[in-house]
């Protein structure tokens, strides 16, 4: 498989997908989301692959967020479509994949990056990782499942605080809260992910696929539709226009609650 924004490799029964946009801190744009969908779909259909690891290139960021320049001018309808399409093509797609997906978080996982990590079946992170959902600083809310998956992982109160402040948390806090399963030094990240993936690969693929489906069945999907609607509605506000303009102009926003 050849792509512009991601790298793929296979090692025995394990596939590794690397988001390769280091100059953009591996930010997600529409092309990258599409390429990730294709890679995940092809690896899931490959009966020789028993586990998939996703990571970011370099040591600074897993994914530092979405590419804001792509949607700063969107209308409410376009914003809602952006969230709905993204959830369908990538985030829900990964969560419901029959092949286990491990997020190897190497550095910043912010906004869409944290949402991508949370869509994976579990997460392992480096000791320099930082995580957060800063969307409210742009006058918008998380739109790729963040309002749903974060409370599932860390609890409602902690999720509310993270979403409403937009603050980042460090790896120790993320580990304590259950947002990540393990924290390791940078050089140990992929080896540990591959070690766990290797243990998974020895088990029944059919049983694991069934387990993924059954665990996912325990969560109400209606909240994701509400997120899409709320995300789209944000695009019609003056706060969204101010937040995204301020970000692109590299200044602090002045929100008026409109």
Counting Cβ atoms within 10 Å, is residue 257 exposed (0-12), middle (13-18) or buried (19+)? exposed
Kind of pairing between the strands at 101-105 and 14-19: unpaired
Asked if residue 232 lies in contact with residue 77, where contact means CB atoms within 8 angstroms, the answer is yes
In Å, how far are 34, 53, 137, 138 from 31, measured between CA atoms?
Answer: 5, 20, 25, 22
Quote the tokens at residue 148: 């749903």
Quote the tokens at residue 106: 């190497």
The one catalytic residue in 11, 135, 242, 249 is 135
Quote the tokens at residue 133: 């959902």
The one catalytic residue in 88, 115, 227, 242 is 115
Whether 188 sits among the annotated catalytic residues: the reply is no
Whether 115 sits among the annotated catalytic residues: the reply is yes
CA gap 108, 101 in Å, rounded:
19
Which residue in this structure is represented by tokens 């480096």?
126
- For the annotated catalytic residues, the residue numbers are 115, 135
């Amino acid at each position: 498989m050849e792509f512009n924004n991601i790298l793929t490799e296979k090692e025995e029964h394990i596939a590794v997908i690397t988001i390769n946009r280091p100059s953009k801190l591996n930010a997600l744009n529409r092309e990258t989301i599409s390429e990730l969908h294709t890679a995940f779909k092809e690896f899931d259909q490959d009966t020789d692959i028993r586990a998939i690891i996703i990571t970011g290139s370099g040591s600074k960021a897993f994914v530092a967020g979405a590419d804001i320049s792509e949607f700063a001018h969107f209308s409410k309808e376009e914003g809602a479509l952006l969230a709905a399409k993204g959830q369908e093509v990538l985030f829900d797609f990964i969560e419901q994949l029959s092949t286990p997906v491990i997020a190897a978080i190497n550095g910043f996982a912010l906004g869409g990056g944290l949402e991508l990590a949370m869509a994976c079946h579990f997460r392992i992170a480096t000791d320099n990782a930082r995580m957060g959902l800063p969307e409210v600083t742009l006058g918008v809310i998380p739109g790729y499942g963040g309002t749903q998956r974060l409370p599932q992982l860390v609890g409602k109160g902690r999720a509310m605080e993270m979403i409403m402040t937009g603050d980042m948390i460090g790896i120790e806090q993320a580990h304590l809260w259950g947002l990540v399963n393990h924290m390791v030094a940078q050089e140990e990240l992929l080896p540990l992910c591959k070690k766990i993936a290797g243990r998974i690969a020895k088990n029944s693929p059919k049983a694991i696929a069934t387990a993924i489906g059954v665990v996912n069945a325990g969560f109400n999907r209606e909240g994701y539709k509400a997120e899409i609607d709320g995300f789209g509605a944000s695009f019609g506000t003056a706060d969204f226009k101010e937040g995204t303009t301020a970000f692109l102009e590299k200044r602090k926003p002045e929100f008026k609650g409109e």
